[in-house]
Structure 1
Amino acid sequence: MTTKDRIYRSPAAIAGGVLLLAIAAWLGIDALVQGTGRTPWLALAAMILVIPLVVAFTLRPAVFAGEDRLRVRNPFRVIVLPWSQISGFRSGYSNEVVAATGTKYQLWAIPVSLRARKKAARRTARAAAGEPAGGRRSPGLGLGFPSTGSVADAKDAADGPLRAETDKVMDELRDLWESREKAESAQGEVSVRWAYEVLGPVLAGAVLLVILIATG
């Protein structure tokens, strides 16, 4: 039985992309309909340039983790890495997968949130101290018993340090890689393909915009 790929995307990026596309469509269509002279042509060129870029950096990025390989869909490239060709994952200011050759590929769909990491670290510290999530120790009704929040946080501390969501995703990818890297079906070579379906419209829009500005 074939197992479906696990798909990882950024909800915040998708929401932001939808909003930006709505604004671009609103302004662009208004300029096309209401504009005079060269304005509609400039608006058209700008839309051809901007809309693919917005899609590329917000809606397009995704990471597909299957039984045999990891497929990384970044703004302008698609990288397919069999699990056997991965040497590790790195999380710093960005999340990256490292190929066996040493080449690093950024995981655009799994952005690092330093704020979320700090929040998780604070929660871990409070849990270790027996404090509730609100940050103040409960008096426990004066009976010497910990509050419900204290008990829950203490249980979380016992299970291990709390992690930011994207760090949990990286842990899942590491676990899948470690369990599948020796599998016969997970062998092969790394492939990288440029996203010409994105680069083509962007280049066309940029050329048209330059021509219109230069001949204006």
Structure 2
Amino acid sequence: MTTPEPQPSDREPAEPAQSTEPADGTKGSAESAEPSAEPESPAASEPAPADSPAPAPAAAPAAAAAGSGSADGSAGPEPEYADRVYRSTSGFVGGALILGLACWLGLDAVIVGEGDAPWLALAALLFLVPLVAAYTLVPAVYANEDRLRVRNPFRTIVLPWGRVSSLRSGYTNEVFSDDGTKYQLWALPVSLRARKKAARRYPQASDSAVLGPEASLGGGANAGPRYVGSASDRPGGGERTGTDGSMDELRELHERNTGEAHAQGEASVRWAYGIIAPSLAGAVLLAVLLGLG
């Protein structure tokens, strides 16, 4: 029995690989010797300087631009201003009471009346109700930074402040356009009693400060003192109440906005056909019924 001789191994001892360790003797890691599957980006591998600012998100400049545009008014929708509403509270309450009484009597005549009474009651209601509402509930004055809107019984006038010439207070409150047209403010009736009371409370206001160059003391429907000075020079100063105080506020709005670009435009007048038409129909029907009766 022969003993097999040891055969040389098919695998030759591998030659020692060249060391990748640095010359200083430090041992490198295995991960650094093998190439990485996904190379890192240079920006990620290099540390950012300490004093460099962080990059802003892309939406920030757009938002900032939009905000600046809306702030200075050069972009975006124009600002809207809320209206100040002026009306006669006593006239509104009185009109509501009159309408309630008229409707009660008219409906009673329609229900229990005999003969022509129901038709006469209906014609009278059709004629009177629009007129009472027009003179008591409808009148109002709306004012904002752009324009003055006057709602009178039978028409509505819109005047941009650039088209308003003056606001005058005599025996009636009036607004004048730049072409000289006068419009009465039905919603702001003048109370001579309140005006005299304010004059007694502040006797130090001299006539020269109260009456402007267009003052008129003669007769006529629109005669009387026209207060055209500043609010502090008029009776009661800046503490006036009632329609005189409302006129002071309107004058301040006019003086502040008359030269502004947003307060320019054309004046317009619109008739209240919704009140005129039924009132005329009721008048015609009432006349026909009375003529036939």
**TM-score using structure 2 length:** 0.61
Alignment of 1:18 with 2:96, yes or no, is yes
Alignment of 1:34 with 2:112, yes or no, is yes
Q: 1:124, CA displacement in angstroms?
A: 2.0
Q: SS at 2:158's partner residue? A: strand
Moved over 4 A (4+): none
Alpha-carbon distance in 2 for matches of 1:72, 1:160 = 26
Alpha-carbon distance in 2 for matches of 1:187, 1:160 = 30
State the Cα deviation string for residues 31-64 of structure 1 (Å, max 9, x = none): 1011100000000000001000010000000000
State the Cα deviation string for residues 139-178 of structure 1 (Å, max 9, x = none): xxxxxxxxxxxxxxxxxxxx83753421111010000011
**TM-score using structure 1 length:** 0.82
Q: SS at 1:15's partner residue? A: helix
State the Cα deviation string for residues 156-205 of structure 1 (Å, max 9, x = none): xxx83753421111010000011111111111111111100000110110
* 1:201 paired residue number: 278
Higher fraction of helix: 1
* 1:213 paired residue number: 290
* 2:150 paired residue number: 72
Q: SS at 1:75's partner residue? A: coil
Moved more, 116-125 or 57-66: 116-125
Alignment of 1:175 with 2:256, yes or no, is no
* 1:192 paired residue number: 269
Alignment of 1:96 with 2:182, yes or no, is no
The 8 Å contact of residues 76 and 195 in structure 1, kept in 2 or not, is answered as yes
Alignment of 1:58 with 2:139, yes or no, is no
* 2:165 paired residue number: 87
Higher radius of gyration, 1 or 2: 2
Gaps of 5+ in 1: 127-158
Alpha-carbon distance in 2 for matches of 1:21, 1:50 = 9
Alpha-carbon distance in 2 for matches of 1:124, 1:92 = 19
What residue identity is the alignment partner of 1:94? T
* 2:19 paired residue number: none
Aligned residues: 184
State the Cα deviation string for residues 50-97 of structure 1 (Å, max 9, x = none): 000010000000000022110000000000001000000110110000
Alpha-carbon distance in 1 for matches of 2:145, 2:123 = 43
What residue identity is the alignment partner of 1:85? R
Q: SS at 1:51's partner residue? A: helix
Alpha-carbon distance in 1 for matches of 2:113, 2:98 = 21
Moved more, 16-25 or 160-169: 160-169
Alignment of 1:7 with 2:124, yes or no, is no
The 8 Å contact of residues 68 and 82 in structure 1, kept in 2 or not, is answered as yes
Give the alignment's Cα RMSD to 1 decimal. Answer: 1.5
The 8 Å contact of residues 120 and 162 in structure 1, kept in 2 or not, is answered as no
Q: SS at 2:202's partner residue? A: helix
CA separation of 1:205 and 1:47: change in aligned 2, threshold 3 A: same
The 8 Å contact of residues 121 and 163 in structure 1, kept in 2 or not, is answered as no
Gaps of 5+ in 2: 1-78, 205-235
